[in-house]
Chains A and B, each alone.
Chain A
Amino acid sequence: MTMPNRISLRPRLILLPALLLIALLLSGCTTPPVPPWERGALTEYGMQPERDPLLTAMNEHIWFSREASTGGRGVGGSGCGCN
């Protein structure tokens, strides 16, 4: 007669830790946005995706050859997200 009670307790004992684990894992997957006061780092030279002129020219050439289009690669502004 005691067996069913023991079995019914297990889901309760497992569920809460499992939920806690899932919550922790899910929060680990979040990527908080770069805070506004840290966005100066995005304007630095090392953060520019096209800081190598030769590589950029090669990519432009490949793009033009394949897609018959050119330009439109750059983005104006500092990316600070102001306003």
Chain B
Amino acid sequence: MWSAKHTAVAMLLVVLTTPALAAPSPGDMFPDLRTQELEGVLPEIEDRVLVVDFWASWCAPCRRSFPALSRLHEEFHHRGVTVLAVSVDRKRQDYEAFLQGRAPPFATLRDATHRLVSQVRPPVMPTTVIVDATGVVRAVFAGFHGDETEQGIRAALEKILPPP
């Protein structure tokens, strides 16, 4: 007889054979950036809150997000926040051309092998992930929507950080 157990097994099989496309969500552990073979100089991230922004040179909203990230860096750096902009550009020249003339005050890295981005699976470009000092994702901002996103990141950081 066909039982509920069989139905459960069948549903599990269907789920397991369907490609997983899970985006990061608050409460998830963020991968350790020190083991991701990122191109560039990784700043000191121990015991710091991270604002990890995934971007690409071909992504128009990413260009608009850089000034906002610069402001957030200036505002929160001394309070223990590190802004990291991780490029997913495959070609180094695209990455370098994008940065040329911009000279962002925060750290920029390149995930040339897509090792990190494949684990984090950001839903859109750009995506900004707030990671607390213990490595737990606290907030995810999909896309850049001007002031709305900037204020959202600011509010998320204020929730994590002790009062100034």
Contact = CB atoms under 8 A, between A and B. Distances in A.
Interface of A: 12, 15-16, 19-20, 23-24, 26-27, 30, 32-33, 35-41, 43, 77-78, 80-83
B90 A40 contact: yes
A83 B124 contact: yes
13 contacts: A12-B2, A23-B10, A27-B14, A32-B19, A33-B21, A35-B121, A36-B124, A36-B125, A40-B56, A40-B94, A80-B56, A82-B62, A82-B124
A80 B10 contact: no
A16 B90 CA distance: 44
A43 to B, nearest CB: 5
B79 interface: no
Given A33-B21, A82-B62, A83-B144, 16 more contacts: A15-B6, A19-B10, A20-B13, A23-B13, A24-B17, A30-B19, A36-B122, A36-B123, A36-B125, A39-B58, A40-B56, A80-B56, A80-B125, A81-B125, A82-B124, A82-B143
Contacts of A80: 56, 58-60, 125
The residue in A23, A24, A38, A77 that gathers the most chain B C-beta atoms within 10 A of its C-beta is A23
Nearest to B6: A16
Pairs of residues from A and B, 3 with the lowest C-beta to C-beta distance, nearest first: A27-B17, A83-B143, A37-B88
